Amino acid sequence: MKSVRLLLTSLALFTLAAVLRAEPVKPTPAPAWKLKDVDGNVVSSDQFKGKVLIVDFWATWCGPCRMEIPGYVALQKKYRDAGLVVIGVSLDQQGPGVVKKFIATQKVDYQIVMGTDEVVEAFGGMDAIPTTFIIDRDGNIRDRKVGAEPTEEFEARLKAFLKN
């Protein structure tokens, strides 16, 4: 996690001034991953085959990340029956304790896992957080967003992948 810490330190300042970049991407197979949740249980990308995933790299100290979380909670509630799953990948340096407390106070009800250097690299590295991916039912990355965005705008792009 040393390189993630250095990356996050430099990204903290950049994130505050980051301009949103949201773009559909050429369908690319999403990396497989196994990460621990805040209770130490292993969560694997294999558990979500056939689902549409929002994979959001974030941290509790990141203002734009925090602003988007209520929208992700609402999206999962709205589209759960259509096969949507939201996964938050926490890049917090202080460990799962601070994340667990945040989840409880903010009433985050979607899956949160603790990120690693390897997973950050597997997803192509991060310019800033939040960095969010839409992964289709076939396991392909279809959209990458860097920075915060109004939920309605993100939802408009997401809907195309929920129809299948």
- What are the sequence ranges of the domains in the chain? 2-162
At 1 the pLDDT is: 55
At 25 the pLDDT is: 81
Kindly report the length of the chain: 164
At 133 the pLDDT is: 97
Topology annotation, domain 2-162: Glutaredoxin (3.40.30)
Distance of CA 67 to the CA centre of its chain: 13
Instruction: Give the pLDDT confidence of 131-154 residue by residue, as tens digits.
Output: 999 999 999 999 999 999 999 999
Give the chain's residues under pLDDT 50. Answer: 5-19
Q: For the CA atoms of the chain, what is the radius of gyration?
A: 14
Strand, helix or coil for residue 49 = coil
Query: Measured between alpha carbons, how far is 99 from 94 in angstroms, rounded to an integer?
Result: 8
At 21 the pLDDT is: 73
Cβ contacts of residue 101 below 8 Å, gap of 6+? none
Query: Measured between alpha carbons, how far is 29 from 159 in angstroms, rounded to an integer?
Result: 20
Whole-prediction pTM: 0.87
